Amino acid sequence: MRLRRFLGTLPVVHQFRQSVGLQRGMLVAGLIITGAFALLAILAPVIAPYGFNQLSTDGESFGSQQPPGGDHLLGTTVGGYDVLSRVIWGAQTAFFVIIVAVLLSIFVGVLLGLVSGYLGGWVDRVLVVIADAVYAFPTLLLAIVAGIVISKGQSDLVGGVFAAAISITVVFIPQYFRVIRAEAVRVKAEAFVESAKVVGASTPRVMFRHVFRNSTRTLPLIFTLNSSEAILTLAGLGFLGFGIEPTSAAEWGYDLNRSISDVTSGIWWTSIFPGAAIVLIVLGITLIGESLNDLADPRLRARRRAAATPADAVAATVPAAREDLGEVR
């Protein structure tokens, strides 16, 4: 539910009620998938049949590479872990990474972008140069450096998660920055911003009430990209051996890595399930992001109401159509 609480700032329920048709379908699908993973993450101790680092019950070893069935619904890995339990516990790790990475980058990136875009001047120029410089760094390299600095090579849960999250943060602050800055530059030239200035609104008020909310349209979209990138980076770290040790936390990327040799020998269950988990969680979050993106803007939101003029009706679904239909604004 921590993801939900974060989304609470973008009132999901409110937007769900607003939505119709395909937009609602997308939102619902995304919410169900993401919600299911969130539930898995929270209830992992209850749902998972075994611990993520459990190798035996009652002194009896699970055995390695056991096919699905019996005591192990999804089989066991080459290391002798229960696949189902690892997948369930893995959700927890994934959410940790998303939350930490997003929290660290979104506030800084958005604020810097807004200030830089709205105020302009030398602040803007310096920030843009720094952002460009950071862009040149490969994510994974940063992640490895961060991993070494934070956990000194030992990868426990917190160390691994933070290594992934911080590298994501460093790379994504410029992305949030860029997107918000570009939007802020566009929006600040709009008449309603000038109108607010004429009215006498203070700079912070203009920035946050008028520019900010009109600049965040693409935010859900980057947020989802960010989330999936966070998960993928964590997996990449695991693959390179900088990830989280299987004894400290369950991590899909690590499991995938271990299953590489299994694939050629016909052992499918060790790779399919963690892989599917990664795909599904990224899909779910992306669906939410996409539909929130549309719903947050009253001009993109689809409606059921009949419209007075043809231009209005078409404009309800195709925002640019108003001009196409020749309505002189």
CA–CA separation, 117 vs 110, rounded Å? 10
Map the footprint of other proteins across residues 213-232, applying CB under 8 A: 213-214
Which of 123, 129, 132, 192 forms a contact with other proteins (CB under 8 A)?
A: 192
201 makes contact with other proteins (CB under 8 A)? yes
Which run of H or E residues covers position 61? strand 60-61
5 makes contact with other proteins (CB under 8 A)? no
Q: How many CB atoms lie within 10 A of CB 219?
A: 22
**Least separation, in Å, of the C-beta of 324 and other proteins?**
7
Work out the end-to-end distance of the chain between its first and last CA atoms, rounded to an integer number of angstroms: 44
Which of 197, 218, 240, 280 forms a contact with other proteins (CB under 8 A)?
A: 197
Which of 42, 182, 240, 321 forms a contact with other proteins (CB under 8 A)?
A: 321
Which two three-digit tokens encode residue 287? 């669906």
Which of 61, 154, 247, 317 forms a contact with other proteins (CB under 8 A)?
A: 317
Q: Which residues pair with 72 in a beta bridge?
A: 69
Eight-class DSSP state of 292:
H
Q: How many CB atoms lie within 10 A of CB 191?
A: 8
Which of 9, 152, 198, 266 forms a contact with other proteins (CB under 8 A)?
A: 198
121 makes contact with other proteins (CB under 8 A)? no
326 makes contact with other proteins (CB under 8 A)? yes
Which of 8, 11, 21, 204 forms a contact with other proteins (CB under 8 A)?
A: 21
Q: Which is nearer to other proteins, 59 or 326 (CB)?
A: 326
What would the x/- binding string for other proteins be over residues 268 to 307, using CB under 8 A? -----------------------------xxx--xxxxxx
Q: Which residues pair with 56 in a beta bridge?
A: 61
Q: Which is nearer to other proteins, 247 or 317 (CB)?
A: 317
DSSP state letters, 226-239 = HHHHHHHHHHHHHH
Q: Which among 172, 267, 282 has a CA at the least distance from the CA of 235?
A: 282
The stretch among 64-72, 195-203, 243-251, 282-290 that binds other proteins (CB under 8 A) is 195-203
CA angle 120, 123, 126 (to 5 degrees): 115
CA–CA separation, 124 vs 114, rounded Å? 10
69 makes contact with other proteins (CB under 8 A)? no
Q: Which is nearer to other proteins, 176 or 212 (CB)?
A: 212
Phi-psi region for residue 76, left (φ > 0), alpha (ψ -120 to 50) or beta? beta
- Positions that interact with other proteins (CB under 8 A): 20-21, 190-192, 194-202, 205, 209-210, 213-214, 297-299, 302-318, 321, 324-329
